[in-house]
A and B are shown apart, each in its own frame.
Chain A
Amino acid sequence: MSSRRIPRLGIGGPVGSGKTMLIEQVVPRLASRGYKVGIVSNDVVSREDAERMRRSLATERGLMCEDLVVGLATGGCPHTAIREDPSMNISVVEEMESKHRDIDLILIESGGDNITTTFSPVLADHFIYIIDVSGGDKYPRKRGLGIESCDLLVINKIDIAPYVGADLSIMERDAKVIRGSKPYVFVNCKNGQGTDDVTEHIIRDVLFEAPPKVVKR
């Protein structure tokens, strides 16, 4: 069973931190390298994120089939749905795996929650946690399981740091202290700055540099 499992990457973070925009930056980069991606988007209240990604990545740009973006409601309990009881997510992911054996990676976007978010290891093999500078440069220092334990910490919206009084050097210093040797990256998902690094991280640490399953001719 495990040999048939498609690598799964969880992307968590607070509402508005840029999870959807990060996916919109990373998926085209992965697609340009030949990797085919499926997305399960957990929404707290609406299907807006899933519909937006289906439109922007599948319908308009043709980077994936429309049915490879699935929206899932979480009963108002976004972190329960990815950690304590990921049953519905696992069911959707398994259905996607059985229908699309040719995809290389499944992204599971969390429904947006607080700094204690983590993914069940059964649901996600690897975990990216994204925060943004608008919460202030105290954010990494405040810790929380998400920031501490994720495999890659992404700090978004660096372009607005001067306007919200966030000192990126403080965030970097605290990220190093809190996370030790585990990686972090500063990004601006509006213009794509830093998202090449995220893409490389995924190819190296999630896909283990395996070639795409389907080679385009």
Chain B
Amino acid sequence: MEQKYMSIHEISIEEISMMQLSDSFFPSGMFTTSSGLEALFYSNRKITDPDQLRELIKVYLEHQIGPADCSALGNSYEHLQRKDLQKLVEVDNIIFSMKLIEEIRNASTRSGTQVLKCVSSFRTDNSILNRYREAIENKRASGVYPVALAVCSNALGIPKYKAGLMMLYGFTVSMVGAALRLGMLQHFDGQRIIHGLKPSVSEIVEKNIGRPLTGMWQFAPDIDILQIAHERMSSKMFIT
């Protein structure tokens, strides 16, 4: 492929797009999720200090979001470059079926479809984005978040690796936000956790963004159980 160098103007637009999509103000609905943290908070296995929360988020990243969602995002990018909708839909279906917990599955598709809808309101001429939305409307695809984010990031010219960073960073921020609202820590602790996880986020993206579709995995049974427990809570503040 011919090497194309970006102008300073192009670089800044791409980077601003990255800020826009990874901003917690961007309407993805992720502020309503805790990924099972709320169930942990109300269980007898309390998190007692910020370091424990940082380590827990790292487990999510290393054993769920990295090898599954980040790999799905990376695979999606490969098919987006070739405008191969069929293969993109295949990634969508596989990562959707890997989400074992209904609440998590639903939250992911709800966020994904709304992010797509929002980006397509100002990026109207991206054919693969429009075709992927049609596939969702026709029930061929689910609109699961990692694939939807890949489609949107690609439409805004954000490179694959940076899109992976955005997704893991966004997940980290949503977990810290949930912990703050549950009263598990104070706001400076939250920022310390995010800062402390930067090397892990970078390393996990690097390790998983090029993972082939057949190599995608996730294994965090303790977290699965927490997420199942959350589904059964009668009183809750978060949707997951």
Contacts and interface: CB of A to CB of B under 8 A. Distances in A.
B161 interface: no
A75 B234 contact: no
A73 B31 contact: no
B237 A74 contact: yes
A80 B110 CA distance: 16
B3 to A, nearest CB: 38
A39 to B, nearest CB: 17
What bracket does the count of chain A residues touching chain B fall in? 20 to 34
A46 B238 contact: no
A84 B25 contact: yes
Interface in B77-122: 107, 110-111, 113-115, 118
B22 to A, nearest CB: 14
B27 A84 contact: yes
Contacts of A91: 29, 110, 113-114
Contacts of A73: 32, 236-239
A84 B110 CA distance: 16
A74 B32 contact: yes
A75 B235 contact: no
Interface in A120-173: none
B237 A47 contact: no
B70 interface: no
A73 to B, nearest CB: 5
A85 B29 contact: yes
Contact of A72 (B115, B118, B178, B239): B239
A46 B38 CA distance: 13
Contacts of B239: 72-73, 75, 88
B154 interface: no
A88 B235 contact: no
A212 interface: no
A69 interface: no
A45 interface: yes
B237 A88 contact: no
B32 to A, nearest CB: 4
A88 B181 contact: no
A87 B28 CA distance: 6
B142 interface: no
B27 A87 contact: yes
Interface in A68-87: 72-77, 80-81, 84-87
A203 interface: no
Interface in A10-57: 44-48
Contacts of A80: 31
B33 interface: yes
Nearest to B33: A75
B34 interface: yes
Q: Which of A76, A80, A86, A90 has the most CB of B within 10 A?
A: A76
A110 to B, nearest CB: 14
A150 to B, nearest CB: 23
A47 B32 contact: no
B235 A47 contact: yes
A85 B238 contact: no
Given A73-B32, A73-B236, A88-B239, 9 more contacts: A45-B236, A46-B235, A47-B236, A75-B31, A75-B239, A80-B31, A85-B25, A87-B118, A91-B110
21 contacts: A44-B237, A46-B234, A47-B235, A72-B32, A73-B32, A74-B237, A75-B34, A75-B178, A75-B237, A75-B238, A76-B181, A76-B182, A77-B31, A77-B32, A80-B31, A84-B25, A85-B31, A87-B29, A87-B118, A88-B110, A91-B113
Interface of A: 44-48, 72-77, 80-81, 84-88, 90-92
Interface of B: 25, 27-29, 31-34, 107, 110-111, 113-115, 118, 177-178, 181-182, 234-239
9 closest A-B pairs (Cβ-Cβ)?
Answer: A87-B29, A87-B114, A75-B32, A46-B235, A91-B110, A88-B29, A76-B181, A85-B27, A73-B239
